Chain A
């Protein structure tokens, strides 16, 4: 049995139908010495990708795929890097995307797949005016 109920799958599929651009979810996991959350993350991403053919999951080995790890500046695992039509969205999720994180993941996939940013025009203008690097780390828990 999957992690998502048939009802959740139906709702999610509806949301994902807005996607027009290919979305790639790069999943970095650690086979040895890694936590169980990597397995959970893989299962969740697989269930999402099964609902929309524009969403694909590509697995990377956190220890062995050093080139991609450096390219996407991934410093811990499990990590999900979200690509929009092959381009880095600069959105990362670290840890298993369960609970509230799952909502964040779906929203990030929608931003990547539609190119639409659901922000107030004033807020968007402030963000677009940022002219120096800004690194946000948002800490949350599954419940």
Chain B
């Protein structure tokens, strides 16, 4: 996603190494994606579902957003 749009940054974080972040974002399972500090996506989703959830697109019920 980051490669496709200059406004997007993507960090892959090794959860066991950065326990402060793991606690901050309440990472209890992986993969877990946090978008702009607010949207949480749990688990690996199919490509379109993941992007819809990350972009908070309407008419969608992402199964695991918080």
Q: How far is the CB of B21 from chain A (nearest CB, A)?
A: 7
Total A-B residue contacts, Cβ distance less than 8 Å: 139
0/1 per residue, B1-41, Cβ < 8 Å to A? 11111111111111111100110010100111111110000
Interface size on A, residues (CB 8 A): 40
- The answer to whether B51 and A95 have CB atoms under 8 Å apart is no
B55 in contact (CB, < 8 A): yes
Known A90-B9, A140-B12: A111·B3 in contact at CB below 8 Å: yes
**For B16, what are the chain A residues with a Cβ–Cβ distance below 8 Å?**
95, 141-142
- B-contacting 9-mer, from A18-26, A62-70, A125-133: A125-133
- The answer to whether A92 and B4 have CB atoms under 8 Å apart is no
A135-B3 Cα distance, complex, nearest whole Å: 13
Q: How far is the CB of A24 from chain B (nearest CB, A)?
A: 15
**For B31, what are the chain A residues with a Cβ–Cβ distance below 8 Å?**
138-140
A41-B57 Cα distance, complex, nearest whole Å: 36
A63-B25 Cα distance, complex, nearest whole Å: 26
Secondary structure of the B side of the interface?
A: mixed
The chain B residue with its CB closest to the CB of A132 is: B7
- The answer to whether B11 and A136 have CB atoms under 8 Å apart is yes
A contact set with B: CB distance below 8 Å:
35, 37, 73, 76, 84, 89-96, 101, 104-105, 111-112, 117, 119-120, 122-124, 126-128, 130-142
B contact set with A: CB distance below 8 Å:
1-18, 21-22, 25, 27, 30-37, 47-48, 51-52, 54-55, 57
17 A–B contact pairs at CB < 8 A?
A: A90-B10, A92-B11, A94-B17, A95-B18, A112-B3, A131-B7, A133-B8, A134-B9, A135-B11, A136-B2, A136-B8, A136-B10, A138-B31, A138-B33, A139-B25, A140-B13, A140-B15
